[in-house]
Copies of this chain bind each other. A is one copy, B any other.
Amino acid sequence: MDTRFTGVIPPVVTPFKDGEIDFESVDKVVDFLIDNGMNGLFVGGSSGEVAYLTDAQRDAVAERVIKHTAGRVPVLVGVIETTSARVIEQAKRAEALGADAIVATCPFYAINDMAEIEDHFRAIAAATSLPLFAYDVPVRLNGTKLAAEMLVKLGTEGVVTGIKDSSGDDVAFRRLVQLNDKAGHPLVLLTGHECVVDGMLLGGGDGVVPGYGNVEPRAYADMWAAAQAKDWDEVRRIQDGINEGFEIVFVPQGRSGDARGIGAFKTAMEAQGTIATNEMAYPVKALEGETKEGVVAIARSRGLV
């Protein structure tokens, strides 16, 4: 297992201001996250609104984060594209920018089976010298769930370094953990289920990629430390607290999935002063009015504002 990529690695949000990427806020987010104990940064993930960014914007954000991080922690870069050939183009650019690892999903828009998906990851790995993380996020990808056996096989062969599991299927994650252990633990297994990290760490997870980590990084860092110390009651206590803050994503009503989740994170971060505005990428409108107030009220009750 590549231990550089264990622990808490939040998917960094992309701050906007007047419709443009706000690089000053990017720097502040990076410092905020590293200063609060994050073990790595994941740029270009769903929470980073990667799907909304042009290639130039993706590159600019990755470059800025990598530069400002300056080696303090590893930076993973999402290379989110529909199929192998297109992912490889993204991967090569990420490598040139100095990424420490890349994160790719299975193909989307395309309709492939598991054998084709396996070949997809092989082609990406062959095209770059960077560690490759497979990103399992069926809710965005037509329901496609990566097969545990395939992932462990790719891990054993050195094709894939780790998994970011945002599948919502903890039973499958648990099984992946055990298959991985039996194979000698080649894969770094990171859960994206930020509200059940306690159980996932108890069960053998190697870390977490929490979107809400943008808001409360310190709590995740503390949870990770408690887990390392096997103080599970403390782990659970911290998770409970995090989940109270995570309720911000349930405040927005009648809005899209991205507006609710990322919108709530950004709104709390704006209130915390980490980013200048809670703007979202077009065409998603920022939270405002009572919704915004509701989010901030929860953040305040957690002592974050």
Contact B203 A174 (CB under 8 A): no
Q: Which of A76-90 contact B (CB under 8 A)?
A: 80, 82-86, 89
Instruction: Give which listed residue, B53, B54, B82, B196, contacts A203 with CB less than 8 A.
Output: B196
By a CB distance below 8 angstroms, the chain B residues around A50 are: 109
Which interface residue of A55, A256, A259, A285 has the most chain B CB atoms within 10 A?
Answer: A256
Contact B83 A111 (CB under 8 A): no
Contact B85 A52 (CB under 8 A): yes
Further contacts, 17 of them, CB under 8 A, given A50-B109, A116-B283: A46-B109, A53-B85, A83-B281, A84-B282, A84-B283, A85-B282, A108-B140, A109-B140, A111-B140, A112-B283, A113-B259, A119-B282, A168-B169, A174-B239, A178-B244, A202-B236, A203-B239
A170 interface contact, C-beta 8 A: yes
Count of interface residues, chain A, beta-carbon cutoff 8 Å: 68
By a CB distance below 8 angstroms, the chain B residues around A193 are: 170-171
Instruction: Give which listed residue, B51, B142, B236, contacts A107 with CB less than 8 A.
Output: B51
A131 to B174, alpha carbons, bound, how many Å? Answer: 33
CB distance from A16 to the nearest CB of B (A): 12
Residue of B nearest to A247 (CB): B175
